[in-house]
Each structure stands twice: as structure tokens, then as C-alpha cells.
């Protein structure tokens, strides 16, 4: 496919990449069945990381800023705000006990309280899993995304995967303002090309995660999986003949 991509690697709380419908009632989202791994609780407590979604329009006038409002919601004796969100959703990430999270869900202006969790990939053949086909449907109807630049914020990128080969692609369009950024263990000149047109690492110092690698290189696999699904080059499937004795 002709699409190019830009990767923004980050070591931070999971950002919910969902279009969240604003609700008039608050609720704690239950733990899904496929959530296997959890963040390790703080050594001295049973606190876990929660993402609190708010209706920013409900901020009481006595608070001058959203940050001031958010701080007033948090039990200061045991918790602190780790991160605030103000683009796709409004809200903040915080360490809470289960009881504190339930009480937080009842605070006026809070629409959802999500327990931070790790999701595991369900397939390594996403196009087939999604029913996409080369000859009909969404791919050919959109000219396989020719010229489209896709930006992804995830665990990084493994640029040497065959999905990121730029054979047949011309230079990225002149309106592109991003770039690949050199980092320790990541030579942007050698690893980026006309397929992978941008890569940069954003590191946030949080107590719940370890951020040892300052580069956008992917050591978890999720970012590479998502990037190759969204804009990866076609990679031939190798089939092997097998002889079986029944």
C-alpha cells in the first residue's frame, strides 16, 4: 500500500483511542475478560491507575482552571494526578483504591472512570481478520490510501520489518512538517525512509512505568502491529508444503 506513516513513541499511561460518547451518568467501566495483565500496585498500598473522564463544560465557576478542578477531586493524602488530557477527551489519570474510584465516579462532572489495563493482540493477520481484500471493498475503493500520512502514538516502531519497505514510493509530499529524530540506538537516516517518514520518542516520567529506552524503537510489538496494519506495505505470505503420516 502507498500510505506512509509517522510514529510517535511514548512511555506513559495508555491513551484511550476511542470516540467516547458523552454521558449524563457516571460509571466505572468493568474489567474486560481479555484483560490479563495489570499494573503492579504501589508497594505500600492497593492503589491502581485510573483514567477519569470529565465533562469539561461542567467545571464549577469557583475553579479558575480545569487543573484546579481536577486537583480538588483527588484525595491528596494518598493520591496525585499523574497526567491530564485535553484533546481527544478531558480528564486525568490518577492512582486510586477501588473505593476511591467508586466515589470518584459519583463526583458531579465525572462521566467515566476507567481502570488502566493492558490489552493483548488477538491476531497477527489483521487484514484477514477485518475482512479486507485487495480486489474489492475499502482498500481498492480508496486507492489503498495513496499519499495519506498516518500518525500513530503507540509503543514505537520496528523499522526493519518488511511492512515498512518503501519500494515504489516517491518522496513524501512537501506539506509534511514532521521528521525522524535521531536517538540512542535509532539512526533516523538509516531507519526512516519514504514509508516511515516520522519517528520521535516522548518520554513521561511516571512511577507506574519504566522508560529505559529513549528511542522510538518498539520493544513491545504493539506499535509495530498497529502501524503495519494501518499503513504497512504488502508482504507476500510464505506457504510451506507439509507431509503428514496419518
What is the DSSP annotation of 92-138?
EEEEE-HHHHHHHTTSTTEEEEEE------S-S-HHHHTT--SSSSH
Q: Which residues of 41-51 are buried (b: 16+ CB within 10 A; e: fewer)?
A: ebeeeebbbbb
Q: Of all helices (H) and strands (E), which one includes residue 49?
A: strand 48-54
Q: Would the pTM count as exceeding 0.85?
A: no
Judge whether residue 232 has pLDDT over 80.
yes
Task: Output the pLDDT for position 243.
Answer: 58
Domain boundaries, the chain: 4-12+120-231, 38-115
Backbone torsions φ then ψ of 93, nearest 5 degrees = -110, 140
Condensed to tens digits (0 to 9), the pLDDT of residues 131-165 reads: 888 888 888 888 888 888 999 999 899 999 999 99
| Pairing label, strands 110-115, 48-54 | antiparallel
What superfamily does domain 38-115 belong to in CATH?
A: Peptidase S8 propeptide/proteinase inhibitor I9 (3.30.70.80)
Amino acid at each position: 500500500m502507498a500510505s506512509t506513516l509517522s510514529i510517535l513513541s511514548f512511555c506513559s499511561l495508555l491513551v484511550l483511542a476511542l470516540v467516547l460518547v458523552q454521558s449524563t451518568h457516571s460509571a466505572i467501566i468493568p474489567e474486560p475478560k481479555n484483560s490479563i495483565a495489570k499494573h503492579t500496585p504501589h508497594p505500600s498500598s492497593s492503589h491502581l491507575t485510573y483514567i477519569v473522564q470529565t465533562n469539561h463544560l461542567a467545571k464549577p465557576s469557583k475553579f479558575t482552571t480545569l487543573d484546579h478542578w481536577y486537583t480538588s477531586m483527588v484525595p491528596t493524602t494518598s493520591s496525585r494526578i499523574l497526567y491530564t488530557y485535553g484533546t481527544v477527551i478531558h480528564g486525568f489519570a490518577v492512582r486510586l483504591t477501588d473505593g476511591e474510584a467508586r466515589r470518584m465516579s459519583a463526583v458531579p462532572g465525572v462521566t467515566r472512570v476507567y481502570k488502566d489495563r493492558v490489552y493483548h493482540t488477538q491476531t497477527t493477520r489483521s487484514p484477514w481478520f477485518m475482512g479486507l481484500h485487495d480486489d474489492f471493498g475499502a482498500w481498492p475503493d480508496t486507492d489503498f490510501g495513496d499519499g495519506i500520512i498516518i500518525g500513530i502514538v503507540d509503543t514505537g516502531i520496528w523499522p526493519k520489518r518488511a511492512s515498512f519497505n518503501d519500494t515504489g514510493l516517491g518522496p513524501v509530499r512537501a506539506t509534511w512538517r514532521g521528521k525522524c529524530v535521531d536517538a540512542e540506538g535509532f539512526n533516523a537516516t538509516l531507519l526512516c525512509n519514504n514509508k516511515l517518514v516520522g519517528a520521535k520518542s516522548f518520554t513521561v516520567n511516571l512511577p507506574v512505568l519504566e522508560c529505559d529506552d529513549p528511542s522510538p524503537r518498539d520493544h513491545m510489538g504493539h506499535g509495530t502491529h498497529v502501524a503495519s496494519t494501518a499503513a504497512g506495505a504488502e508482504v507476500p505470505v510464505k506457504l510451506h508444503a507439509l507431509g503428514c503420516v496419518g
